[in-house]
Structure 1
Amino acid sequence: MTQTDLPGDSEQDAAPRRVRRRRTRPAGDPSGPSGSSRTGTRRRVSFWMGCGLIAAGLAVLGWVAWQFWGTNWQSQQRQGDVRRALASGWGDGQDVVRTDFGNATAILHIPKFGKDFAVPVLEGASDTVLASGVGHMEDTEAGGVGNYVLAGHRVTHGEPFAELPTLEPGDEVVVETRTATYTYVLDTGGEDLIIPFTQTWVLDERPVNPNGGTQPPDGVGNQLITLLTCSEIFHTDNRSVVFGHLVESSVPSG
């Protein structure tokens, strides 16, 4: 018997052989290598986008913190520098003292705001001036004939006029200069008059409200004072305005 005649060989040869076929994944299957790569890419993009949004949020919070606390701290330092410069300059006989932030001429006291309220007055209304004290917006001198106009921030940058809406008729405003101290009494309150910033009649030597309503004081002489600030904390298009008139001038003794 030859090898080809062995029993079972022919049966085994005759049986069909099974071939294991490898399945192919359809294109775009996320379980495949290319799908895993795309998923990883999306995750990385989402991660970095999230990091970017967190960083942007922190930047906004930092800016807000600087506006509400940082600028106040900086302005308080500047106000202290200007007060010291005024004390030194007045001691040398200078009525107007040049500082790093502008020409300073006086110190403003408002007793209702506390005994420690002492804010320097600088000439003009630039951003630097208003970040270092209050700005004197007209050519009139404290105690002089005309309208002595002072402007200041209500929020941020030292916020010297933060409490201006609480002022009432009869409250005092004191302006200290090298040669004299001038006491004004308010005729209107901090919420009596709100105007658009475009209305400049409040800066006039003898202001008159063209719209009627609240008017500057009449029959109290020609030595007036006007205080200006933003009427809303987060909106700067309107101004709160307070009027007063001079009632006393005193010269330092000695």
Structure 2
Amino acid sequence: MSGPRPERGAGDEGPYAQGAYEADGTFVAAIDQLADPLTDPLPGQRPGQHASPWFRAGNIPADGATPPAPPRAQQPQQGLQGAQQAQETPREWYDPEGYERDWYRQAEPVRSTASAAAPPPGPEPGPGPDVVSRPAPPAAPVPADDETVGLRTADVAPPPRPSAAADGPRTQGRAERRKAAKGRGRRRTEATAGADPEAARPAAPMSRVEARRAARAAKDSPAVVASRVVGEVFISLGVLMLLFVTYQLWWTNIRADLIAGKETNKIQDEWASGERRPGVFEPGRGFAIMHIPKLDVVAPIAEGIDKEKVLDRGMIGHYGEGKLKTAMPSAKQGNFSVAGHRNTHGEPFRYINKLLPGDPIVVETQDAYYTYEMTSILPQTSPSNVSVIAPVPAGSGFTAPGRYLTLTTCTPEFTSTYRLIVWGKMVDERPRSKGKPDALVG
């Protein structure tokens, strides 16, 4: 940064004495002179020592020496003004043309005022030896566009863009380059759409006859229409069948359970109030409650076996009409026979096939509890076999008159092809005043 060190004399105070190597303020003025402290060389350095393409050997003097240092200024104020002026303007080795040529590969150089270096000014007199005068800097350069003022890697050209050949020399600004990129996208879309020129060409207008033929060809044939109608019918039938099965297997049970529960509560309330008396009951009216502890069944017993009035309402029907009339539980002798659904509508007899000999079945009336024990079962018989509800049922194993119980239901499940029969024999009659029987207490 300075010239050769002077020889140390006898009167020197040491290597760190004031002005031992250079005048006061020389280093500060040199730093202030730099336009860009990161890239500009310091005094005493060649511009070629920097890797940036902004510095060109063509701007350095032929002998390779740094610009001659002007004589010292006479006044400190004049030296500081020169340093500020040099800081505001770039040095003479600023080369924007080379930067544009290396980075953008332009065919023609960009005009710039930075390449015209100002002639070195003459020495400026100054009164003192501590202020260094500087040459007048050249005028500030005008950059070609906003892309030429950023920092760049030294002498490394970016990879060529795919569309560089089509775009030509990159002399536009940022807005122009964006518009060009959008135009290239549109051109690619048009090229893709125009791959088939026949398809892109608008069709010629059809005549009236051709239009009618095209309309008839677009219509569905009768076979297609018929198959579509048949398919819709089958789909509708399938939906209806699904709804019917849901109704039979799920909703009928819910509805029957609600009705049977209300009827049971009604019978118990009448017994508690004393309004009902034993005797002959009208069809469809409940008069007793059946308990099957093993199956957890509690269902009301109504007079008659009418499907809609009794069985479909979740109640158990008593054979008490016409030729099928049977005895009541309170009779001293006879066969108390009842019927109930095995599936749907409350299905109170769903699992009576699981009863075993000795399992209790209790019939509760207004005056007493009648307890029966299961004795035998007939898995399958004809619906017309009415002998199973006779006073001495056929096939039950009973040989003499007695107080019997007969349960009848449909079999197999979800059908009414045959009848399933379960028989029982009374083993206990307990007045209500003595409390519930052991079968219900346990």
Q: Common fold, TM-score beyond 0.5?
A: yes
Give 3-state SS (helix, strand or coil) of 1:178's partner: coil
Query: C-alpha distance in 2, partners of 1:125/1:157?
Result: 14
Corresponding letter in the other structure for 1:250: R
- Percent identity, please: 29
How far apart, in 2, do the equivalents of 1:88 and 1:97 lie? 18
Which of 423, 426, 432 aligns to 1:252? It is 432
C-alpha separation between the residues in 1 aligned to 2:310 and 2:278? 14
Mapped pair 1:140 → 2:327:
yes
In structure 2, which of residues 364, 385, 392 is the aligned counterpart of residue 206 of structure 1? 392
212, 225, 230: which is aligned to 2:405? 225
Residue 277 (structure 2) aligned to one of 56, 73, 95 = 95
2:420 alignment partner, one of 240, 246, 249: 240
Match runs of 1:63-82 below 5 Å: 63-82=244-263
* CA shift digits 1:32-84 (9 cap, x unpaired): 43232244x65555444333322211100000111111110110011011111
Mapping for residues 27-66 of structure 1, pairs under 5 Å? 32-39=214-221, 43-66=224-247
The residue identity in structure 1 corresponding to 2:351 is E
Change (3 A) 1:56 1:99: farther
Using the alignment, how far apart are the partners of 1:102 and 1:203 within structure 2? 20
1:162 aligned counterpart, secondary structure:
coil
Aligned to 1:17: none
For 1:204, the aligned partner's letter is A
1:84–1:100 distance in 2 versus 1, CA, 3 Å? farther
Aligned counterpart, 2:264: 83
Q: Equivalents in 2 of 1:42, 1:179: separation in Å? A: 73
Q: Aligned partner of 1:105: which letter?
A: F
Match of residue 381, structure 2, among 171, 183, 195: 195
Deviation at 1:217, TM superposition (A): 2.8
Displacement, 1:105?
Answer: 1.0
Q: Is the Cα contact below 8 Å between 2:339 and 2:409 reproduced in 1?
A: yes
d(CA) in 1 for partners of 2:232 and 2:417?
37
How many matched pairs? 218
Letter of the 1:74 partner, please give it.
Answer: R
State the match for 1:149 in structure 2.
337
Deviations 1:193-213 (A, max 9, x none): 42100111012122224xxxx
Point out the structure with the larger strand share.
Answer: 1
The amino acid of 2:393's aligned partner reads P
Letter in structure 2 aligned against 1:103: R
Closer, same or farther in 2 for the Cα pair 1:97/1:74, shift >3 Å? Answer: farther
Residue 233 of structure 1 and its aligned partner are, at CA, apart by: 1.0
Kept after mapping to 2: 8 A contact 1:97/1:103:
no
State how far apart, in whole Å, the 2-side matches of 1:58 and 1:100 are: 41
Is the contact made by 1:149 and 1:203 (CA closer than 8 Å) also made in structure 2? yes
Matched with 2:49 is none
The answer (yes or no) to whether the contact 1:95–1:177 under 8 Å persists in 2 is: no
Q: Which SS does the other structure have where 2:411 is aligned?
A: strand
Q: Does 1:181 align with 2:385?
A: no
- For 2:382, give the aligned amino acid: P
CA distance in 2, matches of 1:101, 1:50: 48
d(CA) in 1 for partners of 2:279 and 2:310? Answer: 14
Q: Which runs of 4+ in 1 moved over 3 A?
A: 41-49, 95-101
Q: Which residue of 2 aligns with 1:171?
A: 359
Q: Work out the CA distance in 2 between the residues paired with 1:178 and 1:33.
A: 82
Distance between the aligned counterparts of 1:36 and 1:42, measured in 2? 14
Aligned-pair CA distance for 1:88? 1.9
> What RMSD over aligned residues (CA atoms) do the two structures have, in Å?
2.9
Q: Residues 67 and 101 (structure 1 numbering): CA distance in 2 closer, same or farther, change over 3 Å?
A: farther
> What is the letter of the counterpart of residue 292 of structure 2?
I
Q: Give distance in 1, aligned partners of 2:262 and 2:218.
A: 64
CA distance in 2, matches of 1:240, 1:96: 30
